[in-house]
Amino acid sequence: MISADGRPILITGGAGFIGANLADRLAGTGQRVIVYDNLSAEGARRNLRWLRDRHGDLIEAAIADIREAGSLYEAVRGVRHVVHLAAQRPVTTNLRAPGEDFEVNARGTLNVLVALRAVPQRPSLLFASTSNVYGALDDLMLEEHGDRYVPVDERVRDSGIDEQRSVDLSSPYGCSKGCADEYVLDHARTYGLRAAVFRLSCVYGPHQHGTDDDSWVTHFVTRALSRRPITIHGDGRQVRDALFVDDVIDAMSAAERLFDSAPSAITGRAFNIGGGPENAISARDLLRRIAACTGEPIEPVFGPWRAGDQRYYVSDVGRFSRLTGWRPSVRLSAGLGRLHRALAPLRDVGSLPRPAASITEELGAS
């Protein structure tokens, strides 16, 4: 993803979990990166300091909000590619103030699109959406198999859920992200922007701060290392496909190359990007694996199911794989070990990310 003409890549939410890992990868190859972030998220300031310490002048910080249309226009001018990761994620805020949720996730994304349309040289755009746009998947027939749910439909069991699944928006977060998702796809069709959507599922890895509004994998590991209670809403048999952050960045790199080499193949399309069936795991099974890593037993607290919770979501990544050859390369066992090794030393020096009181977001939200 090194620009031949020297133009930088802009990452909105670039000091967040995925953004910081992406910026690190890009700058590590000599690519100039603009990190556009309001630094409101847990750990964002720490991530930005880390990036600057590692890469110096290759990291340019634009401390601003995506609700600031003027700031966005200035940031977009002169860049060749935009990865739009900035979002309002805490579900407690979503429920308490859905208007703010709309302004950040939906209106903020529209601001990005308007800025792209306004500049003389239009950059390509990759938008990070979520598997939550598919709703609770209540029509998916499931059966219990040990400590997990499995689909009755053999095709879904073997491959996961593909992009033919209709969008079914629920919860303020799902509605606002789904609205943004559709705006991006429509701007590709209507205004000719080179834009595509990744619907991400359960991303985890280093520089994620393990709160209840992050991936449940990192959240569980952080709380286990902190010796804090872990709450599971439901019976723990719910299944997600975990995706290590390095694999997400590989997919983003493949998408960026397509925008340059074959834009018609990717423009205006949405892709499910997750760990796939090979990396699917139930909450109960995950806790057993974490206990094996830490050497300490984990006894979770079980709470009631919440409206909109998905009992099963696993991504079918075939559409993007057929287009680019990409598939997840970091198996869950290896990724979980890498995450534990990254976090355990922080516990020893008292620098673990602040653990949250309980999971307050739908399990597996990306």
**What is residue 19's three-state secondary structure?**
helix
Amino acid identity, position 362:
E
Contact at 8 Å (CB) between 188 and 194?
yes
Strand partners, 231: 301
Q: Find all residues with CB under 8 Å of 348, minimum gap 6, and list them.
A: none
DSSP 61: E
Whole-angstrom Cα distance, residue 275 to residue 279?
Answer: 5
As a whole number of angstroms, the distance between CA 186 and CA 176 comes to 15
Active site residues: 173
The answer to whether 314 touches 160, Cβ cutoff 8 Å, is: yes
Q: Which distant-in-sequence residues (6+ apart) come within 8 Å of 47 by Cβ?
A: 15, 16, 17, 19, 20, 207
